[in-house]
Structure formats: structure tokens, C-alpha cells
Amino acid sequence: MQMDIEPCLAIDFNIKDILIVNVNWEKFIAEGTKEWKYQMAVCDLFNERPVWIRQSLSEHLSNKGLSLGENSIKRFLFRAAYYFLNGPYRRFWIRKGYDPRKDPESRIYQRMDFRVPPPLRSYCDSGIASGLKHKWDDLCGFRVFPYKCQTSFQLFELVDDYIQQEIKKPLTQTSCTLATGWFSQHILEILRLRVKVRFLSVYPNPGAESFLKSASLHLEKLKRTINVIKEKIVNKENEMSNDEDDDMEDDIEDENADEDFDAYEGLDMGGVGNDALPDSSCILDIITVFFFFNLNISIKYLHFLMNSY
């Protein structure tokens, strides 16, 4: 009996709601056959995790003794999964019935690309010409340098303590966007630089030293910058909290004080109280981070920053 397989579901990321009907392939494939065995193995992998990059899925099947060519594996993927044409999960296979845009935990499966600097691509050309191919686990473990000029990875699979620590931190976004997914732009840039540094560190030939140094300096600068700005935000919010406490104490004292006072005493035209306000450069830094880096800042504190002008 022949089975009509629905065409590959390539979906635009901006489509709000996705209705995908699962293919009941068990009715059309005889149990115990080779076809059944392969399809069941693919479905089992999607039960382990809902999003896969094809290279990783192929290697997992191969490790189980199930080797498939690129065209053959697509037939089994069509029955179990779909993919987005664009966005942070572009070309990754996603289990039917699962929408990573609605699950913040899916951030660990987002896409991260590594592009080989043009002056180093002769290594890639020679590797491809010789027919060499790295194991996927070796690439994800940063043990080898990619032969392809551009390689896509899942953050979840990258063997790096810093990357794994960052992707599991509490989110600062409440929605999944086309451009950056569940992460802010600055976090993705830091992760991208971290991947770049790790791969340039294992480039087997001379010539990568200057690229490695530049990427390392840029990475450390970004990390220091965001840490400094976060510290400023915390310090200023603490100052606001202390000022509010002082104001409450002053109000209580004023209620009990004598009514006789110098009418001009409170009119210090020199600007008494301005010492508690942040300088303009600090305000600009914090507002810039809020809008471009998506850091959490309380609404009360934003009102304070705007009113300080």
C-alpha cells in the first residue's frame, strides 16, 4: 500500500499559529520492516528532544547502526517534523506539534553560525577537495576546525561551560523574535564571539593568530561593558530605594517640627538634592542598554531617569 506523504512543511517564522497534522505512518508501514525500524528511530530521537539539526540527527542514527543518505533521511523527517524558512531555528527540524516560539525552554536549541574568516578559507577548500569530513561531535566539542566556510550549530550541543551557563540563565525577554529568538542581541553577540574564539584556537595552520586576538579582545570588552552597566543599574536602584526611605523619615520629622521656619530656607537656588541624580552619561548608558540590550529595568526607575532631566 502506498502512502501519500505531505510535502515538506517549510514555514515562515512570522506565521502566528501553526496547525500541523501528524502523519499516522504506522498504518502504512509494515511493522518489523526496515522502513519501520528507521522511522521509529527518527521518531524516538524527536521524543528525546524536539529540535534537531540534520547533521546531528544523522550522526545519532549512525551511532545506532542506522546509516542513511541525505535524500533517504528526508523521507523519514517529512513524516515526523517541519522546519522554519527563517529566524533563530532556520532549517532546524522541529517535531510536529511543537512550537519553539511558545516555549522559552527552547532557547537552548537556537541556531548559532560560525563563519570562517576569508583569509583562512584555503584550509576549508583543501579539506572539501580531499573529501574529508569531521564527526559532528568533534565539531561541537571544538576539537577540530570546520571544513565548511559556514557551519550552523545548536547552542545546546556546544561543549563549552560559558555558553551552557549563559543559555540557561533567566530570560530578559518574554517573546521569541525573528531576529534574536529568546535572547537579547548583546547575548547572542557574546555567544557568537565565544564560538569564534574557540574555533580559531584550534585552527591547525599558521595565520589565525591576529583573528584570534581580535575576537578575544572584542569578547572581553563586551563582557566587561555589560557587567559595568548592570552594576550601575543595581547601584542606582539601591540609591533610589535609600532615598525613598530617607524621604519617609523626613516627612515624619516634618510633621512633629515647629511651624516657625525661615521662609527662604528651602529655596537654595544652588540645586540642593541634585547630588542624588545620576550624571547624563550614566543615564545615556542605562537607557541605551534598556532599549538595545533588553535588560530588565523597573518602570519606577525609568521614570526617575526621565524626570532627572
Amino acid 288: pLDDT? 47
What span, in angstroms and rounded, lies between the C-alpha atoms of 239 and 245? 10
Task: Quick: pLDDT tens for 18-40.
Answer: 776 677 888 888 898 999 999 99
- The count of C-alpha atoms lying within 13 angstroms of the C-alpha of 276, restricted to the half-sphere facing its C-beta, is 14
Torsion sign across C-alpha atoms 240, 245, 250, 255: positive
Q: What pLDDT is attached to residue 27?
A: 80
Q: List pLDDT tens digits, range 279-291.
A: 444 444 444 455 4
Q: Say yes or no to pLDDT of 216 above 80.
A: yes
Q: Is the pLDDT of residue 121 over 80?
A: yes
The pLDDT > 90 percentage for the chain reads 55
Which H helix or E strand runs over 111? strand 111-115
91-109: average pLDDT? 95
- Write the CA distances from 48 to 4, 41, 90, 238, integer angstroms: 27, 11, 20, 44
Q: How confident is the model at residue 268 (pLDDT cuts 50, 70, 90)?
A: very low
Region 267-273: mean pLDDT is 40
Per the model's pLDDT, the better-predicted residue between 294 and 193 turns out to be 193
Residue tagged 515647629 (cell numbers): 258
Q: Which of 73-87, 145-159, 230-244, 274-288 has the highest mean pLDDT?
A: 145-159
**The three cell numbers locating residue 11:** 514555514
- What are the Cα distances from residue 106, in Å, to 98, 167, 220, 278? 10, 10, 27, 38
Residue with the larger pLDDT of the pair 257 and 193: 193
Query: Whole-number mean pLDDT of the chain?
Result: 81
Tally of CB atoms within 10 A around 115: 14
CA distance 159 to 166: 13
**Cα separation of 8 and 121, whole Å?**
33
- 230 Cβ contact list (under 8 Å, min separation 6): 295
Is the pLDDT confidence value at 274 over 50?
no
With cut-offs at 50, 70 and 90, classify the pLDDT of residue 54.
very high
Q: How do 51-52 and 81-84 pair as beta strands? A: unpaired
CATH number of this structure's domain 10-101? 1.10.10
CA–CA dist 152, 212 (Å, integer): 20
Considering only 4-13, 17-26, 51-60, 71-80, which range has the smallest mean pLDDT? Answer: 4-13
Task: Find, among 52, 43, 51, the residue nearest to 24 by Cα.
Answer: 43
Neighbouring residues of 181: CB distance < 8 A, sequence distance ≥ 6: 87, 88, 89, 107, 110, 188
CB 112 within 8 A of CB 195: yes
Residues of the chain with CATH 1.10.10: 10-101
- What pLDDT was estimated at residue 157? 98
Q: Which residue has the higher pLDDT, 246 or 95?
A: 95
